[in-house]
Amino acid sequence: MAPLILVTPCQQAAGTEFADASISLSNRYTQAINDAGGMPLVLPVTATRAQIAELVRRADGVLLTGGEDIELKHYAPNTPPELAAKLGEVEPERDVLEFALVDEVFRQRKPILCICRGHQMLNVALGGTLIVDIPSQLPGALAHKQVERKFELVHDVSLVPGSQLARLLGATQTGTNSTHHQAVGRVAEPLRVTGTTTDGIIETMELKDPSRLPFLQSVQFHPERLYDRYPHFAELFRAFIRASAGQ
């Protein structure tokens, strides 16, 4: 049987049907899981803490997806007002849900793949911090928010030789897309940096101790928007699915 992958969606205050509070998720994520041999299941955002634990138990792997910013109170409560004003939309309920999800992933030792916001959420959930706004805090940094070019390779990422992602992609440098204005700041203690851009932005991370989970890969870019045009990114999803299948 195809491994079951729990996928986190965005939350919206008003959706298409009756303008009720709703979920939103690009089909790119679930298609990438399908193409890699998995079976995606979108996480219900109304899940209770007990249900999250049960959903993780039934799932074979977890995918943390992209989305809006994480509330400052979780990693930088004393941010000056002028910098706090640079924060984009936030998803408070999603923050709480994903903190619980990361906790359960480590408690139950399940494979996890983290993309964009998911990359940042993983770091915050494990005790790290974020750069609130790259242009404000790192003058001269690369243009990291290029949403209009989300299917294109817009900058290079240098990967640590021998790191998990370098092995999976078969290279120590790769072009990536880039659609974010925040980034990992202080790295959480369990994680190690395995990829950066020329301006020092942390683009990829993995566990210092890989034995803690069957699989963990965290990337700031969006491989689900690249793998069909740049096939080496498909190996990231295939490796995640293999780990979720216990291979």
Q: Where are the beta strands (DSSP E) in 52-201?
A: 61-64, 112-115, 130-131, 155-159, 173-176, 183-184, 191-196
From CA 197, how far away is CA 148, in angstroms rounded? 20
pLDDT at site 17: 83
Band (173; pLDDT cuts 50, 70, 90): very high
pTM: 0.96
56 closest CA partner among 118, 19, 18, 5: 5
Residue 36 confidence (pLDDT) above 90: yes
Domain span at residue 95 reads: 4-244
- Which one is predicted more confidently, 45 or 98? 98
Residue 97 confidence (pLDDT) above 90: yes
From CA 196, how far away is CA 204, in angstroms rounded? 7
| Domains identified in the chain, total number | 1
CATH number at residue 44: 3.40.50.880
Tokens of 176: 């990536």
Tokens of 191: 């994680």
210: CB partners within 8 A, 6+ apart: 164, 216
pLDDT at site 19: 87
Residue 72 confidence (pLDDT) above 90: yes
pLDDT at site 174: 97
From CA 134, how far away is CA 92, in angstroms rounded? 22
Tokens of 181: 């204005």
Residue 191 confidence (pLDDT) above 90: yes
pLDDT tens across 19-28, in order? 888 889 999 9
Residue 245 confidence (pLDDT) above 90: yes
Residue 161 confidence (pLDDT) above 90: yes
Residues above pLDDT 70, as percent of the chain: 100
Residues above pLDDT 90, as percent of the chain: 93
197 closest CA partner among 133, 146, 152, 154: 154
Mean pLDDT of the chain: 96
